[in-house]
Structure 1
Amino acid sequence: MLLYEHPLSSYTQKVKIALREKGVAFAAELPESFGTGRSDGPFAQANPRTEVPVLVDGALSIFESTVILEYVEERWPEPALLPRDPAKRALARMIEEICDTQYEAVNWGFGEILWFRRATGALADRLRAEAAAQTAVLQGWLAARLGDAPWFGGEVFGWADAAAAPMVNRSVHYGLGPADGSPLARWHARIRERPSVAETFREFDAAAARMAEASELYTTGGRRREYRDHRLEWMVKSGGVEVVLAGLRDGNIRFPWPDAGQS
């Protein structure tokens, strides 16, 4: 079992937590061509979008984190991550959807400023403020779904916890975590103690500590950050259209496959 990954990818972290919860052994590999947009090599053959994660199980290659999570749940049904009750299953999937789209976009946008210095001065201040305000809204929404329960699924760790864990943890890393003593903060403290999550978060922390060294690759064009769907929307709606235009001008951002003009 091979997992093409990047330890900072929230989508990858979600999959690693699920695999570890189920006791599935896997080898993790950062593709050599990650972030370049190159269409050659085994990584691009496994996923033409050249995005992580990609799970390779024998001759089968699966991309898109939700599809991978569904495959893992069906291939290794125990312990189950999705609850049996249809309403609770729907809630778990909605939480994952919000985390994968709106929440990921805010975290990603904040990282563009913090790690890659896409904006400075007043523009950077504005984007950071927008990210902080939107993070508070998203954490409020999650807190309402959590309530007083230990996990999003109630008494049992599950699908929604695996999906929300990387998002909330990245906010904490950015200094935008939930208020001390709040139910969501207590949930974050609790989830950090879970072995599957603790190992995944250790890998995140180690990679985050090296981001300052790697950031130049993404601003000189050696690698290019992907401005896909919700990420592009976040940057534009939050006032960062100048960032997008500068990235296009300097050739250090990219958009998803297929590229413009690609046959």
Structure 2
Amino acid sequence: MLLYEHPLSSYAQKVKIALREKGVAFTAELPETFGTGRSDGPFAQANPRTEVPVLVEGDVAIFESTIILEYVEERWPEPPLLPRDPAQRAVARMTEEVCDTQYEAVNWGFGEILWFGRASGGLADHLRSQAAAQTKVLQNWLSGRLGDAPWFGGEGFGWADAAVAPMVNRSVHYGLGPAEGSPLARWHARIRERPSVAETFREFDAAAARMAEASELYTSGGRRREYRDHRLEWMVKSGGIEVVLEGLRAGNIRFPWPDADRS
């Protein structure tokens, strides 16, 4: 079982948590061509989008984190991550959808400023302020989903917990964590103690500690950050369209496949 991933990818973290919850052994690998846009090699063959995560089991290669999660749930049904009740399953999936789109984009945008210096001065301050305000809105929404329950799945850890965990934890890393003593803050403290999550977060912390030395590779164009769907939307709506334009001029950002410049 091979998982193409990056330890900082919230999508990959979600999958790793699910696999570890189910006790499925896997080998994690950062693809050599990750972020280069190259269309050759086994990674691009497994996923033409060249995005992580990608799960490879024998001749089966699956990309897109939600589809991977569905495969994992069906392939290894015990312990279940999705509740049995159809309405509760829908709630879990909706929670995941918001995290995978709006929340991931806010975290990603903040990282563009913090780690990659995409903006400076007043623009950087404005984008950080936008990210902080939007993070608070999202965390308040998640707190409402959590309510008084110990887990987003109710009494048991589940699908939504695996999806929310990487998002909130990255906010905490950025200094934008939930209010001290709030239900979401208590949930985050609780989830950090869970073995599947603790191991995944340790990998995140180790990779985050190396971002300062890795950032030049991305800003020089050796690797290019992908401005996909909600990420691009976030940067534009939050006032950072000049960040996108400068990235295009410098050739150190990319957009998703298909690309006419790639064979």
Specify the alignment match of 1:45 in structure 2: 45
Q: Is 1:244 matched up with 2:251?
A: no
Equivalent in the alignment of 1:87: 87
Aligned: 1:202 with 2:198: no
Residue in 2 aligned with 1:31? 31
Aligned with 2:62: secondary structure?
strand
Matches within 5 A, 1:141-156: 141-156=141-156
In 1: Cα distance, 2:195 partner to 2:96 partner: 21
CA distance in 1, matches of 2:259, 2:119: 25
Q: Name the CA distance, whole Å, in 2 between partners of 1:91 and 1:108.
A: 24
Residue 77 of structure 1 aligns to which amino acid in structure 2? Answer: P
Q: Deviations over 1:27-69 (max 9, x none)?
A: 0000000010100000000000000000000000000000000
Higher mean C-alpha displacement, 161-170 vs 252-261:
252-261
Which digits, 9 at most, give the CA deviation of each residue in 1:195-230, with x for residues without a partner?
Answer: 000000000000000000000001000000000000
Give the SS at the match of 1:62.
Answer: strand
> Which residue identity does 2:203 align to in structure 1?
E
The separation in 1 between residues aligned to 2:217 and 2:261, in whole angstroms, is 25
How far did residue 258 of structure 1 move? 0.6
Distance, in Å, in 2 between the alignment partners of 1:220 and 1:200 is 29
List aligned pairs for 1:173-212, cutoff 5 A: 173-212=173-212
Q: Retained in 1: the 8 A contact 2:103–2:138?
A: yes
Residue aligned with 2:198, SS:
helix
> How far 1:261 sits from its partner (Å)?
5.2
> Aligned partner of 1:160: which letter?
A
* 2-structure distance, mates of 1:49, 1:100: 17
Q: Which residue of structure 1 aligns with residue 54 of structure 2?
A: 54
The Cα shift of 1:107 comes to 0.1
Deviation at 1:260, TM superposition (A): 3.8
Contact 2:39–2:262 at 8 Å: present in 1 too?
Answer: no
Quick one: distance in 2 between partners of 1:153 and 1:77? 16
Output the aligned Cα RMSD.
0.7
User: Take 1:8 and 1:130, find their aligned partners in 2: how far apart are those partners?
Assistant: 22
Closer/same/farther in 2, CA of residues 33 and 67 from structure 1, 3 Å limit: same
Indicate the SS of the match to 2:212. Answer: helix
The equivalent of 1:9 in structure 2 is 9
TM-score by length of 2: 0.99
TM-score of the superposition, structure 1-length normalised? 0.99
CA distance in structure 2 between the partners assigned to 1:56 and 1:262 by the alignment: 23
Question: Deviation of residue 186 (structure 1)?
Answer: 0.1
Residue 262 of structure 1: CA displacement?
5.0
Percent identical pairs in the alignment equals 88
Cα distance in 2 between the residues matched to 1:113 and 1:56:
33
Letter in 2 for 1:124: A
**Post-superposition CA distance 1:212-261 (Å, at most 9, x none):** 00000010000000000000000000000000000000000000001145
Alpha-carbon distance in structure 1 between the residues aligned to 2:77 and 2:175: 36
The DSSP-based 3-state class of the residue aligned with 2:168 is helix
3-state SS of 2:184 partner: helix
Give the secondary-structure state (helix, strand or coil) at the position aligned to 1:37. coil
Structure 2: unaligned runs, 5 residues or longer:
none
Do the aligned residues in 1 keep the contact of 2:93 with 2:160 (CA within 8 Å)? yes
Give the partner amino acid of 2:193: E
Give the whole-Å Cα distance in 1 for the aligned partners of 2:50 and 2:157.
Answer: 31
Query: Which AA in structure 1 matches 2:21?
Result: E
Deviation at 1:177, TM superposition (A): 0.2
CA distance in 1 between partners of 2:76 and 2:140 (Å)? 33
Cα distance in 1 for partners of 2:219, 2:260 equals 21
> Cα offset for 1:174?
0.1
Alpha-carbon distance in 1 for matches of 2:157, 2:37: 36
